[in-house]
Each structure stands twice: as C-alpha cells, then as structure tokens.
Structure 1
Amino acid sequence: MSEPLRFIDRRALGLRLARAARSGGGPDFLRARVAEDVADRLAATLRVFPVALDLASPGLDVRRVLDGRAPGATTFRATPRERDGGALVCDLEALPFAADRLDLVVSSLALQFVDDLPGVFAQIRRALRPDGLFMAALLGGDTLVELRNAFAAAEVEIEGGVSPRVLPFADVRALGGLLQRAGFTLPVTDVDRVTVRYDSPFGLMADLRAWGATNTLVERRRTPLRRATLARALDIYAQRYSDPDGRVRATFEIIWLSGWAPHPDQQKPLKPGSAEARLADALGVLEGEVRPKGSPETPR
C-alpha cells in the first residue's frame, strides 16, 4: 500500500498546538459556535449513545455537550497533544480503538490537520458499533480565501512567485464520497459559512497564532517573510476585503459531515423503479411534457 501524501509537518503542528493550549487556546467564538451546533444536531436524534468520544476537538466545549446529553454515559476525549486535561493522547492517523467499541464519535475543528482522511474515516467506522454515529466539523476550502489571495498577489508582485501558506482544505463533495468509501451509511454533508470582521488583517493573524494555526505545511518557505511582501499583502487585503467602516472580512467555511455504522434496522433507500406513483402524475403534467419557465403551471 502506498503512503498518503504528506502536506503537514506533524512536529511543527504539535508544537504550535501545544503552545496554543498552554496560552489558553485563543478566541473561542468558532469553538463555541460548533459546540452549539453539535448540541442541536444531536438533539435531532433520539438515539442513546452509551459510549461517546470527543476526538481531538480543541477546548472542552464538545466534551461538555457530550457529558450533558446523556448523564451516566461514558464520555471521554482523545487528543494528539500532551498534558491536555487527562485526555487519551493518540496519533489521529493511528487511532487506538478496537472494533465495535464506540457508539458516538464527534470531532470539532481538528480533522483538517490530518493528511490521511480516508484512513481516519475507516478507523472511526471500524471503532463504531452497529448503528453508531460519526459527526464532524472541519474547515473547508473557502476558509481564509481572502488571506490566501492577498498573499498570493503580493508574492507574485514583489517576488515573482507564490509559496504555499494555507492548508489545502477539503471540498464538501469530496468528503461525502470519503464517508461512503469508508463504509458509512446515510452520509450527510452541509456547509456553514462564517464571516468574521477584524479591525485589520493583523487581528486575524493574531488569532491564527493564538489557535496554533499558522503555516505548518511541509513545503512552506523556511526563510523569513520579506517585509515588503507582508506590507503589500496587508495593503491588498485591505483594498479588496474591507467594508465601508474600514474593517476587513475573513471567511471560515465549516463543513459538517455525519454518517452511521451499518445496521439492519436502518432506513434503506428505495431501489430504482420501485416508486408506486409517477413524478409526472404528482406534477400534473404529461410524460415528457416541458412547460415554459415561469408559466403559471410550473411548480414553485
């Protein structure tokens, strides 16, 4: 089996996340938003999850949601960071769980730092009992698009080329396919786009440092950033992405995904051709009839 491509410098990532944890983990507005959504999404199912895992979510927000949902259930955390509140320390790409041991796995804002997502999904699927649920929120492809574009334009203008600075975040359609490939049933993906406004791009960059989310790409440039390039990137950012009040925008795309471990009692999709009524009958049109767009009979 071939090794997955490595985009992330694991050692650099671990050091920066550990430093961020020691200093408080940075602003919590994204963590709190995701944890609130986790609570809402879990409330939509009546299933009881006796053994629940918070997989590598920064902070304790998700763990508190899991603890509050089912008093008396076993809930615990796993993290790639040392000295993190008594959590199980593990490698996210080599999870230490036996088959059929977990009923629920939730991960918040962590799996974007994994190189081998297909492998991690397969391991989570294996660890879940039949009818167990996997739910995750991770940063998607439009995250920090403004910062990425500003630095790319500045580097082309000042240095004649572009160096990699932002993680190659996953695409929502690709993630849905990976869930199916890993053996999950009833896969669901959706997107929550969050726009955060800062007084200047420096505010965004300070938050990224506080989260431990600065550049950890294997192919990152190892020489210091030139002052002229930074200054030009900040100018471009302010010119292209500022509001009338002078504040600048930063996009965070949060991709939500969920899937269930197979179980015989789960709802099954209908087989092609098994419908008992024709779509044409439901719409009140003849088979093959095409109505002009916007006509009164067109369903809305």
Structure 2
Amino acid sequence: MSLVNIVFRSRKSSLTKLRILKNLKKARHFSVGALIHQKNDEHIMHVFDRNTKSLQRERAASAQDANLYDYLKDEIGYRLADRVFDIKRKFKLAADIGCSRGYVSKHISPKCIEELILCDMNRFNLDSVQVQEGIKVRKQVLDEEHIEFEPNSLDLVISSLSLHWVNDLPNAFKQILKSLKEDGVLLAAVFGGDTLYELRSSLQLAELERRGGISPHISPFTEVRDIGNLLTRAGFTMLTIDTDEIVVNYPTLFELMWDLKGMAESNAAINRSLHLHRETQFAAAAIYQQLYGKTDPETGKTTIPATFQIINMLGWKPHPKQPKPLERGSGEVSLKDLYKLDEIIKEVKKIKNDDDQKN
C-alpha cells in the first residue's frame, strides 16, 4: 500500500495526449458488449477462459500477502455497500455473487439485510469472508457463468467486480432476474471500457515499435451503453447506470502489472498473448512514463497513473406498483425552455397561490 497513492475523480478526464494514440482508439474501445450483441440464441461467444480465471483467483486467494492487493476492491466494495444503504428497505434474503474476500459483505449493515448468501467459485475465499454480527450467512460455491437460485427467492443481488469476466452476460442477467422477487433489486459494479487505457496504449505502442504488430494483453471490458442494453433486454426496469473513476499512482509499469496479478485481474481472454517480450516491457514502461508520468514538485519522485473506470448498475424486477413513465407528449414544459426554468417555477407557484386564495 505504501507504493500507491489513490486519487479519486468524479468525471472522466481527457484520454488522448498525443495524436498517435488516435490510431489505437478502435482497439482501446473493443468491448465485451460488442461481441455479446453478435451472439444468437444457439451460440455463445466465449471471450474468457473460465478455467484460467479460476486458477488466477485461487492463486491470489491463497497468497500469504493477499491483503496487500485489496485496496482497490475494498474501496469499490465499500461504495457498493453504501448504495445498498441508500435503498430505504430491509432485505430479507440477499446474494453476493462473486463475493471474493468479502469486499462488499463486510460493509453491509444488519439494518439492511437479514440473511446473506455468499457465492464464489473459490472455497478458500468463502472460508475467509467476514460479515457483521446480526446477519445470517449461507455460503455457496457458484460460478458466475452458471447462476442458479430458486425462482422468485431473492430480494437483492449484489455483485462487485465479478460479472465482467462472464462470457454469457445476457443469460447471467436473465438468471438473476429470474431469481429475484417482484420489485427485487440488482446492484452491481464492473470495470468499464476506459479501464487501464494508459497501460493498453503504452503496450500497443511498444509492440508496434518493437514487434511490428499488436497482440491483446489486456482483457476487453464492456461499455456503459452495452450494460444498459443488456439489462433492458433481460427485463429489468427503472435502470440507474453511472460511472466512477479511480486513479491509482504507481512508481512504474511493473508495480502496476504485479498488483493486477495480485488482484486476480490478469488477462483471461482466450485469444490473449501468453508472452510479453522483455524488451517490449521496458519499451512500454518508458512510453508509459513519457506519455502519462507525473513528477511531484516537492519530492521530485515520478509516478504513473492507472485509471480504473467503474460502471455501477441498478435495476429492478418489474412490479405492478412501480412508478411508470408518463406517456409521450404529456409534458407541460418543452426542453427548449429549460434556460428559463426559474421563471416557469415562479409562474407555477403564483398560479397555485392564487388558486389557494380563491378556495
């Protein structure tokens, strides 16, 4: 933790510093959602090697220094737990899918959830998860690729930084919807398409210069627009989707790549390049430092930023008593009049006061 400095920003900053990076835009925005939309009912596009991902998670979970790499997932888990608290309801039964080391569950208050099902594909993680006193706990070995619960049994489903490794994400959303009761809630966070754009650009430029071509070394991530489409197709209503951006400063590229391995967030794409040449690594580190490096004016130390874009999603299972949107054309104020909204509000209040005086 002493090697990193976490900086939080609310909006996405400018991603392009040199004109040459524009040539890599298509590769950078290659997303899982783009592949998912190409699938039909008979065929699933397998992007990730689930066996590789299982081995990565098992290795990270069993490491003696596993807690050193929890800083990012802890922060995101805390934010997701805070969103659960914002829903003014006590959920009788909830499931944490891909709970890992309990990054969300340890922040959940018994005032929010009565009983929690902890689900993970790794038994070692399940044994190490801690929750607050007052919450009933069940543990279940479950692969996010095959989500199975009793239909209409859950009030809440939580998932933090797990679903972006699922090949058949549309089916995963459908299974979650099926397991929820009417008016049940899905709250989840996944890495977005702008995650690690600095590392991706640096590796691509280094390989173009050293090897004369580009190999995929970072797994594809989904985009905000894809998440909205998939949730809508699955049947969720009243969607709320937003993004956070967390920037972590590292000494060099090598510390960043080492921490990604410790987080079990290493590349698990089927078509990934298994070997990154040593000379390419050093070239990428130099490019990274040149394009994105920062120098502390007080200490003179240089660091490189790594951006993690977090897509937060909230969706509700349909229920007859849920609020419905007004019919198209029923609005009383035109969008073109928004610039004089204050005047409109004053006019409405004046008319209301006059009506009250008459009555």
Q: Report the CA distance between 1:67 and its aligned residue.
A: 4.8
Structure 1 range deviating more: 105-114 or 23-32: 23-32
Question: Which residue, 66, 70, 83 being the options, matches 2:112?
Answer: 70
1:32 aligns with 2:74: yes
Q: 2:293 and 2:339 mapped to 1: Cα distance?
A: 47
- Residue 297 of structure 1 corresponds to none
- Residue 325 of structure 2 corresponds to 269
- Residue 272 of structure 2 corresponds to 220
CA contact (8 A) 2:148 2:175 kept: no
- Residue 139 of structure 1 corresponds to 191
Q: Which has the higher helix share?
A: 2
Question: Which residue, 43, 58, 62 being the options, matches 1:3?
Answer: 43
Deviations along 1:110-151, one digit per CA (max 9) or x if unpaired, are 111111111111110110000100000110001111111111
Instruction: Tell me the amino acid that sits aligned with residue 117 of structure 2.
Output: F
Distance 1:279 1:173, change over 3 A: closer
Distance 1:267 1:153, change over 3 A: same
- Residue 121 of structure 1 corresponds to 173
Structure 1 range deviating more: 257-266 or 88-97: 88-97
Q: Report the CA distance between 1:282 and its aligned residue.
A: 7.1
Q: Report the CA distance between 1:242 and its aligned residue.
A: 0.4
Q: Report the CA distance between 1:216 and its aligned residue.
A: 1.6
Q: Which runs of 5+ in 1 are unaligned?
A: 286-300
Q: 1:210 and 1:146 mapped to 2: Cα distance?
A: 19
Q: 2:260 and 2:338 mapped to 1: Cα distance?
A: 52
Q: Report the CA distance between 1:281 and its aligned residue.
A: 7.1
Q: 1:38 and 1:277 mapped to 2: Cα distance?
A: 35
Question: Which residue, 108, 112, 117 being the options, matches 2:160?
Answer: 108
Ranges of 4+ aligned residues in structure 1 off by more than 6 Å: none
Instruction: Tell me the amino acid that sits aligned with residue 185 of structure 1.
Output: T
Give the TM-score taking structure 1 as reference length. Answer: 0.89
Q: Report the CA distance between 1:60 and its aligned residue.
A: 1.2
Q: 1:25 and 1:276 mapped to 2: Cα distance?
A: 55
Q: Report the CA distance between 1:276 and its aligned residue.
A: 4.6
Percent identity, aligned pairs only, is 37
1:190 aligns with 2:242: yes
CA contact (8 A) 1:104 1:132 kept: yes
Distance 1:227 1:281, change over 3 A: closer
1:281-296 alignment, distance < 5 Å? none
Q: Which runs of 5+ in 2 are unaligned?
A: 1-40, 128-138, 297-301, 342-359
Give the TM-score taking structure 2 as reference length. Answer: 0.75
Q: 1:51 and 1:31 mapped to 2: Cα distance?
A: 24
The CA RMSD over aligned residues, in Å, is: 1.9
